Structure 1
Amino acid sequence: MTPLATPPVAPPQENLRNNATLVEQFWKLQPPTFESGLDPLVAEDWIATIERIFNLIDCPDPRKVTCATYMLQHGARHWWDSTARSRPQGHGWTWDQFKELFLKKYYPSNIRNQKEAEFLMLKQGSLTLIEYERKFDELSRFAPALVDTEQKRARRFEQGLRDDLRQAVVTFELGTYHEVLAKAQLANFRESSNSNSKLSQSGPLEKRKWEDKGKGKQDYSKKNKEGGPTSGYYQLNPVCGKCQKRHTGLCLMGTGACYSCGEMGHFSKFCPKGQVKKQQQQPYQQKPGNPSKGQARVYALTGQEED
């Protein structure tokens, strides 16, 4: 019986060359770094991204831990160095072992349970349809048993929709999540179009109200120009602190001078200049015995007729 031939062992230089090629492929895909933080979703997303890169480059399991741990930084790097030292020499780490320890550290089970409960209570409420869809996709991964088929996923999405959108969708009994989403988007679009149509129909009335308010403002401005509280006189002549009145020039209160002409020796009531000014401002008065212009014209015409 011929003994089985032992497989050839690759020389060390070839192993180094293979490792270098693998690392180069890994770096070309720009793997993200990870540092310890308070958001557990970041930890789960980091693991998912690293695994997608491993699938693309067909990375063997013994090399996965080496590549992934190189991307740890700061607190996460200190945690892994301490964890790796606790393992006896010569015992390597599998990817599943690393992932279990990593998620236990940065994504504990109580947080996952909390996210699952948040998904169970998810309702659209005041969210837009786009915001509700994004939240549904984000939280559904924490309850995979509830959305493991297209029909389950569709019914769960329907249950959380706003009442008007849900009534527009459930009657069709759609079988897939994407069909339910498309029908909800169509109903939401029609509802928005109807709302915009109502607003456009009420536009002319709102415009007339605005114009009426504008006319009132114009009338008020005209009143101010004619001498209202905000006219130029009131702005240039504030209330005098001495006599509590508005006037131009110096205040003559308590000086003994006439308020009309500013001279001494008489009051404004008996001011000779003030009396002359009043007579000039009075309308023309007919003197007794002198006919008015209209009466004189009539008399002249009458006289001509008599001649």
Structure 2
Amino acid sequence: MTITEYEREFVRLNKYARECVSTEAIMCKRFEDGLNEDIRLFVGVLELKEFVVLVDRACKAEELVKEKRKVEIESRDSRKRQLSKSFQSSSKKSRDFTTRSATSAGFSNRSKGKQYSGSKAQTTSVASVGNARPSRPECPQCGRRHPGECRVNGRACFKCDRIYPLVYLHEISL
């Protein structure tokens, strides 16, 4: 309820309780007691004894509380956006790091379940251990088990078939 609505209701009900609100000072005290806690803190320290002045100050305090809440909400939203951007950035860095680590440790996205390690590639196929699927034959050129022709001599990427210098190829495919 806004201060204006509260004032209207307070005055309307005041007609029925004249003996409880005999002076304007008591009326002001009762009005203050029914105010929102935030607004009561602003108005209570003023110790106003005139009802019209009290209502005016309460309206101004209400505006201040609304502005304060608006600023707090904007500040919180701004922090959320910054944290979200920071989280997205760190997630991307983490994903990039994980991909690089997996690649340098001998895993590639294409191999799913296969591990290559050392200078001579050894292959352990997860599919061949637990399933009845036949494993691919070992490639005589690179020692890996892959479909189709070997791309090592052609220096092509195992993922996209692009041609790279030999040094770079080993960094991304081993």
Question: Considering the TM-score relative to the shorter chain, is it more than 0.5?
Answer: no
The bucket for the TM-score relative to the shorter chain is 0.3 to 0.5
TM-score, normalisation: structure 2: 0.45
Q: Which has the higher contact order (CA 8 A, sep 6+)?
A: 2
